[in-house]
Amino acid sequence: MAERAAPVDAPVVSMDAITKTFPGVKALDQVKLDLYPGQVTALVGENGAGKSTTVKILTGIYAPDGGTIRIGGAPVTLNTPNDASRVGITAIHQETVLFDELSVAENIFIGHAPRTRWGLIDRAEMHRAAKVLLDEIGAPFATHALLRDLGIASKHLVAIARALSVDARVVIMDEPTAALSHKEIEELYELIETLKSQGKAILFISHKFDEIFRIADRYTVFRDGAFVGEGLIADIDEDALVRMMVGRAVDHIFPDREQAVGEDILQVAGYDHPTEFADIGFTLKRGEILGFYGLVGAGRSEFMQALFGITRPSKGVTLINGDIKVIRSPADAVAAGIVYVPEDRGKQGAVIGLPIFQNITLPSLKRTSKSGFLQLAEEFKLAREYAERLDLRAAALDQDVGNLSGGNQQKVVIAKWLATQPQVIILDEPTKGIDIGSKAAVHEFMAELASQGLSVIMVSSEIPEVIGMSDRVIVMRDGRIVAEVAGDELTPETLVRHAAGITAAQLQEA
């Protein structure tokens, strides 16, 4: 394609030295991103690299803490989504953010519908204009159709029609193919070509390398919230791109662990779910840390929740110490010695309103009660034991847990689980969204648990953490286990290849 070669135009959007900090986390650090008219720029990076934050800044949802955004050379501030749409930036999200109960035409024109003389919405004109837009992009449905009756691909078309209706100059596509079939993806590619020919600048975010190399003209790589590099797709191969994504300086020391794993503790076989995962089976040994790596949406958390009895798999067998355990509910799992520390600890962790000691004893109420009545002395004893073990800083154990700092609340949640004396602990994204210092503390602690003979399953999307902590790593993709990696094979490149579905053969070609 000839027009790919020479980027003579000036960028239509230019982000420079953009910084965004959330409490305790630097999400973006001095990043730059340029988007050119008539070209597709792929934004590439691991989970947590700062791609979503960038999209939210461009669409006016977050305000950056520092840096400048230029549109056509002039600096702008995008404080609200309205500001973004006024300068011609529009986004098509992974899960479409449109209105299910409204018609296609209403969705396209919501907020800027044509008006009659009396200030009312001119429905006839709206449907006529919508029809023109839909024809332009080859959409096969009526303007009167309700959005909820459309498939995801059609919803994307509506979003694109909406982008055209506001005369967008910049179209952001955040993993647009995630839920599309092969044919629908091809149609999307054609549409992207149409948009390109109209001179729109497109920001394309995807984890799938085949898509990036198929559709993008340029790439920009972020890693850990920092800009790594940019260039023309024509000048790079997959291997080099993977290296840019994952390669990093050692900025974090992981605890040294004696790899002395014992006998099999947990055996899982044949876990199937009609829509989320299939054929999951593995073994976990005493004192082992088993990493679960994959892209977001690979089915890792979904499987773990099934293992824990929250969602029931249609089939699947769990053995603990060689005995079959029937796990139909979380209570069964806790009784069998499995506990699950979920990802969103704010939402799923501490019970605000209950005092610290009652939070800690919540899963152990059977143990702290005698003939149906709770024994307060027992509860305090149990709570104190684990609070001390975790160095919990609280004035008193009957203090409301809501008054504790985030880090201490997290300790309460972990103390709660340890108090059940589990054999297997599942940690779902244990360090997501916490600062470097706290991360190190969590890693220390995880290593200590393993050294005490507890078996740990760690679901993590952070490659350094997976490699630094795990004895063995299972990689999942599209709901299936695609690889088990250990020892020398445990490198960032291997993990990314398996997770993104790049075969060795493809890499040889590249």
Partner 1 sequence: MLSRTFPIRETILAGAIVVLLALIASRFAGFIAPSNLARVFNDTAPLIILALGQMVVILTRCIDLSVAANLALTGMAVAMINVAMPGLPIPIIIAIAIMLGAVMGAINGVLVWKLSIPPIVVTLGTMTIFRGIIFLISDGKWVNSHEMSPAFTGFPRAEILGLPVLSWVAIVTTLIFAVMMSRTPLGRSIFAVGGNPHAAVYTGIDVGRTQFQAFVISGALAGLTGYLWVARYAVAYVDIAGGFELEVVAACVIGGISIAGGVGSVGGAVLGAIFLGVVKNALPVVNISPFWQLAISGSAILIAVAFNASAGRKKGRIILKSAEVTS
Q: What is the spatial distance between Cα 318 and Cα 316, in angstroms, rounded to a whole number? A: 7
Least distance CB 349 / partner 1 (angstroms): 6
Least distance CB 300 / partner 1 (angstroms): 16
Task: Tell me which stretch binds partner 1 (CB under 8 A): 25-33, 205-213, 246-254, 369-377.
Answer: 369-377
By CB under 8 A, is residue 467 in contact with partner 1?
A: no
Nearest to 214 by CA among 245, 246, 177: 177
Among 400, 444, 478, 484, binds partner 1 (CB under 8 A): 400
Instruction: Provide the 8-state DSSP code for 310.
Output: S
Among 374, 453, 478, 503, binds partner 1 (CB under 8 A): 374
Q: What is the spatial distance between Cα 339 and Cα 349, in angstroms, rounded to a whole number? A: 13
Q: How many Cα atoms within 13 Å fall on the side-chain side of residue 225?
A: 14
Question: Helix, strand or coil for residue 460?
Answer: coil
Least distance CB 22 / partner 1 (angstroms): 14
Q: Label residues 189-211 b or e (16+ Cβ within 10 Å = b).
A: eebbeebbeeebbbbbbbbbbeb
Q: What are 216's strand-pairing partners?
A: none
Least distance CB 352 / partner 1 (angstroms): 6
Task: Tell me which stretch binds partner 1 (CB under 8 A): 153-161, 270-278, 372-380, 454-462.
Answer: 372-380
Least distance CB 117 / partner 1 (angstroms): 44
Nearer to partner 1, 132 or 374 (CB): 374
Place of tokens 């088993």: 290
Question: Helix, strand or coil for residue 223?
Answer: strand
Nearer to partner 1, 225 or 309 (CB): 309
Q: Which residues contact 377 (CB under 8 A, 6 or more apart)?
A: none
Among 124, 366, 381, 421, binds partner 1 (CB under 8 A): 366
Nearer to partner 1, 77 or 405 (CB): 405
Among 94, 194, 369, 438, binds partner 1 (CB under 8 A): 369
Task: Tell me which stretch binds partner 1 (CB under 8 A): 75-83, 115-123, 223-231, 335-343.
Answer: 335-343
Question: Helix, strand or coil for residue 396?
Answer: coil
By CB under 8 A, is residue 416 in contact with partner 1?
A: yes
Task: Tell me which stretch binds partner 1 (CB under 8 A): 40-48, 50-58, 390-398, 449-457.
Answer: 390-398
Give the residue ranges of DSSP H helices in 419-509: 436-451, 463-469, 492-500, 504-509
Q: List the Cα angle 477/320/488 in 5-degree steps.
A: 45
By CB under 8 A, is residue 329 in contact with partner 1?
A: yes
Footprint of partner 1 on 306-325 (CB under 8 A)? 308, 310
By CB under 8 A, is residue 234 in contact with partner 1?
A: no
Q: Are strands 226-232 and 373-374 parallel, antiparallel or unpaired?
A: unpaired
CB 185 within 8 A of CB 177: yes
What is the contact surface with partner 1 in residues (CB under 8 A)?
Answer: 308, 310, 329-335, 340-342, 344, 347-355, 358, 362-363, 365-366, 369, 372-374, 376, 395-396, 398-400, 403, 405, 416
